[in-house]
Structure 1
């Protein structure tokens, strides 16, 4: 198969990302967002909030990382950060799934995508750490904006959410007050228990 058709096969593979449902709702009929929508919003959010990250960033690299970071979900699905059982092996499941998806690309491009995915997962550069901050911030923004009052099917607590998001304080201290305010708004709206 020539290079162009290998690349086309990968582009066709990306359609699967639109079918992966996430835990956040959308404004249109309160349906659950998909991972492709999340990736796009993450890229836009990264452009808007870049001034709040304390290190210089290659924004082209940030956008690449955010567009690639959900590739493992096309075959492994989305695992909530609060799903302790699912998180135990989510890295391995998503790594294997990502490798299947990028294997459709020519070898060099497949390796480049795999390297970007691993860089994001490991947070091994300033760009990856910023991308991970943005990835963790978006659900907080969406939740308080879209969820109906008292929508908390997992009975999440403020303490649980703060624990999962505390790395933002270390990586992007200027964004931490926003995180705290979003969590406070969610508690007030009944989206997290106040404990």
Structure 2
């Protein structure tokens, strides 16, 4: 029993590293970049808030678990910017290897369970995974609109590029897709994406 608890504690300590994994979005104070732990937490909380906009019955505990686990692979692999198509080409493999390093600290049954949840999220095979992926896509959209300074578009991103990356939301929730479109339009008006 105590050995199992020690393994779980080692994994819990490993999670501190996720707080040092930075993303491309800034925080509201504009002085620092958001970290992956903050991103995961916000997505998990949004699962509770936006549940009513998913037409199918979902297991919220599973959705929240996926959202809390899905970026653990970034601890050693780092976050890959969604518009970095070259980096995205091998991000699954890099994040899987990174995830396994972190999961090795857990008891084997929890390693297996967490890995299954991560793979289910990545493949989007269940309604829970689809809902989690929608929220994962919405968090940075909402964050960028809320915290970015006007005309903050260092990569020259266009509205059509953003829509291309986010349009899958429509397959899971028409309402959340309409929200995403509104956020994209507001972001264009704020100068965060180029209109074309």
Give the secondary structure class of the aligned counterpart of 1:145.
helix
Where do 1:100-119 residues align within 5 Å?
Answer: 100-119=101-120
Name 2:142's counterpart in structure 1.
141
**SS at structure 2 position matched to 1:115:** helix
Aligned residues of 2:43 and 2:136 also touching (Cα < 8 A): yes
CA RMSD of aligned residues (A): 1.0
CA deviations on 1:24-64 (whole Å, 9 max, x unpaired) are 11112441100000011001111111111111011111111
Output the CA distance in 2 between the equivalents of 1:183 and 1:29.
20
- Contact 2:27–2:34 at 8 Å: present in 1 too? yes
Pairing 1:65-84 to 2, within 5 Å after superposition = 65-84=66-85
8 Å CA contact 2:30, 2:147 repeated in 1: no
Alpha-carbon contact 1:10-1:105 (below 8 Å) kept:
yes
1:173 aligns with 2:195: no
* Counterpart Cα distance in 2 of 1:37 and 1:99: 21
Aligned to 1:124: 125
For the 8 Å contact 1:30–1:146, the answer to whether it is kept is: no
Give TM-score scaled by structure 1 length: 0.98
Residue deviations 1:127-171, cap 9 Å, x none?
A: 110000000011111111100000001100000000000000111
Distance 2:90 2:4 in 1: 33
- Equivalent residue number for residue 191 of structure 1: 192
Paired residue total:
195
Match status 1:159 vs 2:146: no
Task: List runs of 5+ in structure 2 lacking aligned partners.
Answer: none
Task: Report the TM-score, using the length of structure 2 for normalisation.
Answer: 0.97
Partner of 1:17: 18
Query: What is the deviation of 1:173?
Result: 1.2
Q: Distance in 2 between matches of 1:50 and 1:155?
A: 33
Q: Unmatched 5+ residue regions in structure 1?
A: none
Give the corresponding residue for 2:56: 55
- Secondary structure in structure 1 of the residue aligned to 2:50: helix
**Distance in structure 2 (CA, Å) of the matches to 1:30 and 1:147:** 11
- Aligned to 1:2, what secondary structure does the other structure show? helix
Q: Distance in 2 between matches of 1:173 and 1:30?
A: 35
Structure 1 segments, 4+ long, off by >6 Å, are none
